[in-house]
Copies of this chain bind each other. A is one copy, B any other.
């Protein structure tokens, strides 16, 4: 993409309304624009990050055997009356009346609707296990939306729903998502710690939040430091027993503020491993058994011919929230530092003197070569002065900057800058391209 033909409205000044660093940087870097309280447009650069995060989430869900569908944003109130949540949910549910005076709502989650899909299509244990997920916009009418996309009202969530014949099957389904989540966040450059959590309005009796640590996190969390250092499970066979992987994590102390037990923490965790830090919730998984299937009469016939309510769990990842969470975990004074896997572009090519024949030719050659290597490059071909170009590239945080100017070219060199480490190297253009292309 050529910057001269792109739409990248960055801001020089820090917007007054933004209280946290990710919100400030997302506005300044032109990732989002607020359209109403807690409702954002995703500008082209922000949308690229959102799509890359979404793609990683999707790949890891598919790998774990979940099947993607897409449920609508609006739901009939009738379904929620069946489960009893229509009255329970409170003011966070956006209730809507259509032209025929029928009650609708903007889905904050989809347990009811997916249970309805299940009960109308599946009859037998032979069709289990089943895990259906979608990545769709949700709405929660937060009383005080804030922190940008971290606590917005319209937000993008991946939510998966598992269906099993019995508790053992449901527990295995829970474990598959538990493991998939560890891998998902690791691929984004995040180390997420699973913590026992409250089940809240979803219900059920087993639940974990996945928390990433960031100084600016929204809540206090407590855990054994070993959990933070544990590598992700990686390439596992999802048909195998995953209980040992899950147990290795759940055996160690980890709790959010609501679930924290100071006495247990001190008893179970040696002092040097006690970690008390700020955390951001990026995923939440629940096992709730027959809470919805019983209320909504979603049953399956077992091998014994007996009909019973299906055992369910649900599994959420805050896709749009992750954009803010990653920035909270990865930024510096100059701006965002994107992890490679979710950066909006892989490389920025800076033409320091657009209009100069040799510099234009070298920049164009670099841009074309990177494209052929399968890299997404952003070519700054504008007439801005170098200082302004550098500031914007630092702000938007593309992992590599390839700096091409007339002075360097006269000496046969370009500069390759690594955003995360700040390292800079002068080398020939071909060496730089081959270094980038082989990554």
Contact = CB atoms under 8 A, between A and B. Distances in A.
Interface in A1-22: 5-7, 9
A92 B99 CA distance: 8
A36 B76 contact: yes
A254 to B, nearest CB: 33
Interface string A46-86: 01001000000000000001011111111110000000000
A45 to B, nearest CB: 9
B74 A39 contact: yes
A301 interface: no
A153 B41 CA distance: 22
A433 to B, nearest CB: 24
A119 to B, nearest CB: 11
How many copies the complex holds: the figure is 2
A44 B133 CA distance: 10
B96 A96 contact: yes
Given A116-B35, A130-B7, A99 B104 contact: no
B154 A74 contact: yes
A423 interface: no
A35 B76 CA distance: 7
Nearest to A42: B70
Contact of A154 (B35, B65, B73, B117): B73
Most buried by B among A67, A70, A143: A70
A68 B51 CA distance: 11
Most buried by B among A6, A76, A96, A132: A96
Interface residues of A, number: 50
A74 B6 contact: no
A275 interface: no
Contact of A72 (B39, B47, B113): B39
A75 B36 contact: yes
Most buried by B among A9, A36, A42, A76: A36
Nearest to A104: B36
Contacts of A99: 91-92, 141, 143
A139 interface: yes
A71 B6 contact: no
Contacts of A71: 35, 41-42
A31 to B, nearest CB: 10
A222 interface: no
A74 B36 contact: yes
A141 B98 contact: yes
Contacts of A137: 72-73, 137
Given A39-B76, A74-B153, A94-B98, 11 more contacts: A7-B132, A35-B72, A35-B113, A39-B74, A40-B72, A42-B69, A44-B67, A73-B73, A74-B139, A91-B99, A98-B141
6 contacts: A7-B67, A7-B132, A33-B121, A41-B113, A42-B71, A96-B106
